Structure 1
Amino acid sequence: MKDKLVVEISVAVVDDDASLRNALVSLLQAFDYHAKGFDNAESFLESAESETTDCLITDIQMSGMNGIELNRVLRQRRGPFPVIIMTALQGKLALDSARESHPVCVLSKPFESHQLLGCLDRVFSKF
């Protein structure tokens, strides 16, 4: 019998809300993703994961660099890159700005875990 090819998919979660960040990392790990959390955009960009992660999940509003700026920096560094943006902001301007940054999904907080997993399915359906 042939060995099964195992593809480890790496997902980074960047959010300054520790409880949400930790919950998302735990959820992703429960679904066999290699997940790591970061409390701000700068710490993520300084890490090795910024060059190796397969997908980024980020909040828009954080202290320091926001999620839209983080998305822009990653696109400059790596080219097209799958990003899922989360936001508690419900204003049209915030949502339009998020969508203009070309994420795979924009999730309005609070959201259900199946919504996030559906976004990840869209990203990784080719794996």
Structure 2
Amino acid sequence: MPLHPTIAIVDDDESVRDTAKDLLDSAGLSAATFDSAESFLQSKGTWAIRCLIADMRMPGMTGLELHGRLASAGTPIPTVLVTAYYDEQVLLRALESGVICFLTKPFRPEDLLACIDAAMRGHEPA
């Protein structure tokens, strides 16, 4: 794992974490994986994260709650939420809170990469 990862993948599903990390590795991006929002918050390298990919539904804190907690703490990280359970109300709430992208699993690799690019550039995806 790189010393200073720029993208964090937070998902309780190991296969999703591994697949996303493999995709980012193949795109030349450095990434770190976490199995929960709590483990991400306890990590020491959060200051180096430029983009957060988080699962919407996880035991404990959800991806949206993690996004909100970071923003409330004054350390917002551009966030891409992913979910296997599409819910329009949650989508609207996420976008209103500043989430860059909201992808439904299974998502296309190019869609995730476009969202990461938008997040790291600091604007909405095209």
Comparing 46-55 and 10-19, the one that deviates more: 46-55
Q: Which runs of 5+ in 2 are unaligned?
A: none
Deviation at 1:100, TM superposition (A): 2.4
Q: In 2, distance between residues paired with 1:42 and 1:80? A: 16
Which residue in 2 is equivalent to 1:38?
34
Matches within 5 A, 1:36-115: 36-115=32-111
Task: Give the % identical residues.
Answer: 39
Q: In 2, distance between residues paired with 1:123 and 1:95? A: 17
Deviation at 1:99, TM superposition (A): 1.8
Deviation at 1:108, TM superposition (A): 1.2
Deviation at 1:91, TM superposition (A): 2.2
Tell me which structure has the larger Cα radius of gyration.
1
Which amino acid in structure 1 is aligned with residue 94 of structure 2?
Answer: A
Deviation at 1:101, TM superposition (A): 2.2
Secondary structure of the residue that 1:94 maps to in structure 2? helix
Q: In 2, distance between residues paired with 1:125 and 1:95? A: 22
Q: CA contact under 8 A between 1:89 and 1:95: conserved in structure 2?
A: no
| Pair 47,100 (structure 1): closer, same or farther in 2 beyond 3 Å | same
Which amino acid in structure 1 is aligned with residue 108 of structure 2?
Answer: E
Q: When the two structures are superposed, what TM-score results if normalisation uses the length of structure 2? A: 0.85
Q: In 2, distance between residues paired with 1:125 and 1:51? A: 17
| Pair 74,17 (structure 1): closer, same or farther in 2 beyond 3 Å | same
Q: Which runs of 5+ in 1 are unaligned?
A: 1-7
